[in-house]
Chain A
Amino acid sequence: MESDEDKEAQRPRIPLSQRPEWSDVTPLPQDDGPNPVVPIAYKPDFVETMDYFRAVYQADERSSRALSLTAEAIHFNAANYTVWHFRRLILEALDADLQVELGFIENIASGNSKNYQIWRWVAEKLGTDAASKELEFTKKILSIDAKHYHAWSHRQWVLLTLGGWKNELDYCWELLKDDIFNNSAWNQRYFVVTRSPLLGGLEAMRDSEVSYTVESILAHPENESPWRYLRGLYKGNTQSWVNDHQVFSVCLKVLNAKSNYVFALSMLLDLLCHGLQPSQEVRDAVEALEVSGTGQSDSDLGKTVCSILEQVDPIRANYWKWHKSKLPHAA
């Protein structure tokens, strides 16, 4: 919902000095001092707006014209927390309609504002009623940029503070359907699975999540996100991760396909380091990948895996070399 201040901001700007309703106010110029460092070449309309803002702030005038003025200042500088803070004081003093305010804030936020503080204050005041509106709004931002960090952060805050978990897992599923490489969506999925009061928690969700993740890995084994997610599903329970047939099974499948197997090798290496006893099948799969000329075939599977990784993931060759040197000697 567009506020009056919003509509005003879209008309061609009349200088404040020419507006009769401001004729009683003397603007307060910025005192930069004798040797300002990194001065900014402000435009005249910016200067004028901030000069008038300083005047009303100094006078502590909490009126509706002051409210309009803060909207103009915010349009110039959405990150100015002093202006936002004063706006909040005015809203309280005027007992303003916070639904209208939410509309104003959403408008600013769409223009890529990063100051979410007043947004939260308004949302908190409106309570759980605001939840679905906030979720709709962040969804709008995410439909333009599905990885918008602050939008995700705000969405998580809404869920934790105001609720609205019901459709969140579905929403993650939709986003991942659009782009399985969207790491933000994977992160949100983890957030929902571990924190939603409507689901059973990580342990209860693990099996179904593992199936989903394995499917995603097999579709695009070069996608880092589901590999990390898979490991994350066993957070705090490393032994389960090592012992779960589904985990080394997906590694094996990818290795056997002989394509995009860097993450599979990396996970296998981690499993070995945490005590996985490799089957002959796994050994054979690794051996089949050995690039000729990697040197002697190591009886230690871990070292072989490192050697292969040095070749197929050369940008991290130093790391794989070091990792190999740190492996305990085979018994």
Chain B
Amino acid sequence: MESEWEWEPMDEPPSPPSDSNSQTHVFDKDRHVTYLEMMYQLLPWPYQNQEINRLTLAYFVISGLDLLSALDCVDKEAVASWVLSLQAHPKDNAELNDGQFYGFQGSRTSQFPPESSGDLSHNSSHLASTYSALSILKIVGYNFSNIDSERILTSMRNLQQPDGSFMPLHTGAETDLRFTYCAAAICFMLEDWRGMDKEKAKEYILNCQCTYTYIQLMPCFQSYDGGFGIKPGSESHGGGIYCAVASLRLMGFIGVDLLSNSATPSIINVPLLLSWILQRQATDGGFQGRPNKDSDTCYAFWIGATLRILGGHKFIDEKALHGFLLTCQYEYGGFSKFPGEIADLYHSYYGITAFSLLGESGMNPLCVELGITDRAATGI
């Protein structure tokens, strides 16, 4: 989600010198498969500063391969077993209500044997890691009846704050919309909403009916410009609007294809939001995350997927977007953030999702609300 978001690698991996024009005019599916297969085998050392989010890196690789219809190189059982090994387990049932979150940890650096003494937070389960874990398990077809949803969901409620927002960790951290989204997606995948108070979560997202009185007593999440930032008051942002709209959709507070059903009143100001979203397509065809910023590959997903949920994807100039994305296609596979740069895993994944949204042949369709293929989401 950009240089402003937690999940982007700070250093680019080293690459062989480029001796040819890296631009191609078609989506180079085979090279992207090769790139992801290489990452699946070994991530180059600059990704070591992303170690804490290793599960999320795995999600990018595996979901990317699934979108490219290239899951055959993935040992599904080994993957499932590795993911499950990152699940936090309380020592006994009494611990279930000790205030901790028993989800999935992001990596081995935050995982310690349960008999460790001292700091209770040896369990560093994280909402984003849990979302990544469950997504991967869906993709590899793991039988969800074997997952102890009760434990995950009951303890997840410890993360929800009085204002409806979610912390990502029980040890405390800033709350924002990304974690509301993760919580909603987790409940949706586990088909059980006991993990969160949906009404309160909705309140956090909307927070007021957008009617301002003389002195602003309550923050309103939908920003003055129709968009959403990741916190009340924050600047509207492509990632923020995706988290807001996808969360509301997953929780069932907005229906499908809002634009066609414009007669029904909505809890969000849809016309204003739509106007803001569509203005994100820049003259170079790409999508920017915020007004007056450069186009960046990943927003083709954050913005494109939001439009798909709202029913407004037909309003973008697909040809222009396609053209922009190809300028970010790296000759050795993957996608870069900006045209002509080196690929990184995060932008490669979102570039690939964008091509799935554009209906590129040979790719699996994306379930936009969950960020995995339709096939994985439905289990068919």
User: Which residue of A38, A115, A229, A266 is within 8 Å of B61 (Cβ)?
Assistant: A38
**Nearest B-chain residue to A316, judged by Cβ:** B278
Contact A117 B172 (CB under 8 A): yes
Residues 234-266 of chain B, each 1 if its beta carbon lies under 8 Å from chain A, else 0: 111100000000000000000000000010000
Q: How far is the CA of A147 from the CA of B291 in the complex (A)?
A: 11
User: Which residue of A36, A86, A149 is within 8 Å of B4 (Cβ)?
Assistant: A149
Are A40 and B225 also in contact (CB < 8 A) when A79-B6, A315-B320 are? no
Q: Which residues in A have their C-beta under 8 angstroms from that of B112? A: 54, 57-58
Contact B224 A232 (CB under 8 A): yes
User: Which residue of B81, B213, B235, B274 is within 8 Å of A149 (Cβ)?
Assistant: B235
Question: B314-350: which residues lie under 8 A (CB-CB) from chain A?
Answer: 314-317, 320
Question: A20-74: which residues lie under 8 A (CB-CB) from chain B?
Answer: 30-43, 46, 50, 53-54, 57-60
Can you list 12 residue pairs at the A/B interface with Cβ under 8 Å? A35-B75, A35-B79, A40-B42, A40-B43, A80-B52, A85-B171, A117-B172, A149-B234, A203-B214, A228-B276, A231-B224, A232-B224
Q: How far is the CA of A85 from the CA of B57 in the complex (A)?
A: 22
Contact B48 A76 (CB under 8 A): yes
Tell me, rounded to whole Å, the shortest Cβ–Cβ distance linking B323 to chain A.
Answer: 11
User: Which residue of A38, A40, A58, A85 is within 8 Å of B48 (Cβ)?
Assistant: A40
Residues 151-177 of chain A, each 1 if its beta carbon lies under 8 Å from chain B, else 0: 011001100100000000000000000
Q: How far is the CA of A223 from the CA of B291 in the complex (A)?
A: 9
Q: How far is the CA of A61 from the CA of B275 in the complex (A)?
A: 55
Contact B119 A89 (CB under 8 A): yes
Residues 279-299 of chain B, each 1 if its beta carbon lies under 8 Å from chain A, else 0: 101010100001111000000
Are A184 and B216 also in contact (CB < 8 A) when A117-B172, A149-B237 are? no
Tell me, rounded to whole Å, the shortest Cβ–Cβ distance linking B57 to chain A.
Answer: 5
Q: Which residues in B have their C-beta under 8 angstroms from that of A231? A: 224-225, 272
Q: Is B53 an interface residue (CB 8 A)?
A: yes
User: Which residue of A34, A156, A232, A326 is within 8 Å of B234 (Cβ)?
Assistant: A156
Tell me, rounded to whole Å, the shortest Cβ–Cβ distance linking A66 to chain B.
Answer: 12
User: Which residue of B5, B223, B274, B316 is within 8 Å of A187 (Cβ)?
Assistant: B223
Contact A77 B49 (CB under 8 A): yes
User: Which residue of B42, B52, B108, B279 is within 8 Å of A81 (Cβ)?
Assistant: B52
Q: Which residues in B have their C-beta under 8 angstroms from that of A85? A: 119, 121, 124, 171
Q: Is A116 an interface residue (CB 8 A)?
A: yes
Tell me, rounded to whole Å, the shortest Cβ–Cβ distance linking B295 to chain A.
Answer: 12
Contact A81 B173 (CB under 8 A): yes
Residues 199-235 of chain B, each 1 if its beta carbon lies under 8 Å from chain A, else 0: 0000000000011111110010001111001110111
Contact B281 A153 (CB under 8 A): no
Q: Is B145 an interface residue (CB 8 A)?
A: no
Task: Choose among B2, B81, B283 the residue with the greatest number of A CB atoms under 10 Å from its CB.
Answer: B81
Q: Which residues in A have their C-beta under 8 angstroms from that of B214? A: 201-204
Are A236 and B211 also in contact (CB < 8 A) when A40-B43, A76-B49 are? yes
Q: Is B23 an interface residue (CB 8 A)?
A: no
User: Which residue of B5, B235, B281 is within 8 Å of A152 (Cβ)?
Assistant: B235
Contact B48 A232 (CB under 8 A): no
Q: Is B20 an interface residue (CB 8 A)?
A: no
Tell me, rounded to whole Å, the shortest Cβ–Cβ distance linking B280 to chain A.
Answer: 10
Q: Is B47 an interface residue (CB 8 A)?
A: yes
Q: How far is the CA of A316 from the CA of B45 in the complex (A)?
A: 42
Q: How far is the CA of A183 from the CA of B4 in the complex (A)?
A: 15
Q: Is A283 an interface residue (CB 8 A)?
A: no
Contact A187 B235 (CB under 8 A): yes
Are A40 and B45 also in contact (CB < 8 A) when A225-B291, A228-B225, A228-B291 are? yes
Contact A37 B48 (CB under 8 A): no
Q: How far is the CA of A128 from the CA of B92 in the complex (A)?
A: 43
Q: Is B364 an interface residue (CB 8 A)?
A: no
Q: Which residues in A have their C-beta under 8 angstroms from that of B3? A: 112
Residues 295-331 of chain A, each 1 if its beta carbon lies under 8 Å from chain B, else 0: 0000000000000000000111111001000100000
Q: Is B54 an interface residue (CB 8 A)?
A: yes
Q: Is A279 an interface residue (CB 8 A)?
A: no
Given contact pairs A79-B6, A149-B237, A224-B291, a sample of 20 additional A-B residue pairs in the complex whose CB atoms are under 8 Å apart? A38-B40, A40-B43, A41-B42, A57-B112, A76-B49, A77-B50, A79-B50, A80-B110, A81-B110, A120-B174, A147-B290, A148-B4, A149-B235, A183-B235, A187-B234, A187-B235, A191-B233, A224-B292, A228-B224, A231-B225
Q: Which residues in B have their C-beta under 8 angstroms from that of A139? A: none
Q: How far is the CA of A50 from the CA of B52 in the complex (A)?
A: 11
Q: Is B39 an interface residue (CB 8 A)?
A: yes
Q: Which residues in A have their C-beta under 8 angstroms from that of B317? A: 314-318
Q: Which residues in A have their C-beta under 8 angstroms from that of B122? A: 57
Are A41 and B43 also in contact (CB < 8 A) when A35-B75, A35-B81, A60-B118 are? yes
Contact A152 B108 (CB under 8 A): no
Q: Is B117 an interface residue (CB 8 A)?
A: yes
**Nearest B-chain residue to A318, judged by Cβ:** B315
Contact A54 B109 (CB under 8 A): yes
Question: A179-193: which residues lie under 8 A (CB-CB) from chain B?
Answer: 181-184, 187, 190-191
Question: B7-50: which residues lie under 8 A (CB-CB) from chain A?
Answer: 10, 39-45, 47-50
Contact A43 B45 (CB under 8 A): yes
Q: Is A10 an interface residue (CB 8 A)?
A: no
Q: Which residues in A have their C-beta under 8 angstroms from that of B292? A: 181-183, 223-225
Contact A315 B210 (CB under 8 A): no
Q: How far is the CA of A82 from the CA of B88 in the complex (A)?
A: 14
Q: Which residues in B have their C-beta under 8 angstroms from that of A54? A: 109, 112
Q: Is B116 an interface residue (CB 8 A)?
A: yes
Contact A80 B235 (CB under 8 A): no
**Nearest B-chain residue to A121, judged by Cβ:** B172
Q: Which residues in A have their C-beta under 8 angstroms from that of B39? A: 38
Contact A30 B108 (CB under 8 A): yes
Q: Is B51 an interface residue (CB 8 A)?
A: yes
